[in-house]
Amino acid sequence: MVGHDQSAGRVLVVDDNDDIRSLVEFKLVQAGYTVTVAGNGPDGLDRAREWHPDLVVLDVAMPGMTGYDVCKEMRGDPATAHIPVIMLTARDSTEFSTLGYMAGADMYLTKPIVLRTLLDKVESLIHADTR
């Protein structure tokens, strides 16, 4: 599937860590995706509603509004409910991944991020998305 803007797809990256956000953005752009970013949950929700990405890469641990909260809000909004979400976290445990899936995440990856794995998952979810 060729996304909008003649790219591989449109991806929104929401992470409060500037370094991680920039690295993920760089690698996605390098792989042919059109990317926009947000540094916190409320901005991420606004961008998801306005920009209509094909997929969201979402950090869990953000101040104010967690990634879990953002994902739940997205799933409750008809404008964003269909968008696949990959959650990223430094917390590597079944409890936290279960919380991510309960919030509505399609995929849950732990940091440090293996960029090849992230790119493979992004591609898989965008191309498999028939919702």
| pLDDT at residue number 130 | 44
| Total-model pTM | 0.89
How many domains does the chain divide into?
1
Cis peptide before 42 (omega within 30 of 0): no
> Strand locations in 1-131, DSSP E?
10-14, 34-38, 55-59, 85-89, 107-110
How many Å apart are CA 93 and CA 19, to the nearest integer?
A: 24
What lies within 8 Å, CB to CB, of 119 at 6+ separation is 27, 28, 31
- What letter would DSSP give residue 107? E
What are the tens digits of pLDDT across the range 1-28?
333 446 789 999 999 999 999 999 999 9
CATH of the domain at 102: 3.40.50.2300
What lies within 8 Å, CB to CB, of 62 at 6+ separation is 14, 15, 16, 40, 41, 70
| pLDDT at residue number 3 | 39
Give the domain range for residue 96: 4-128
Task: Give me the tens of pLDDT residue by residue for the chain, a chain 131 residues long.
Answer: 333 446 789 999 999 999 999 999 999 999 999 999 999 999 999 999 999 999 999 999 998 899 999 999 999 999 999 999 999 988 766 666 677 778 889 998 988 889 999 999 999 999 885 44
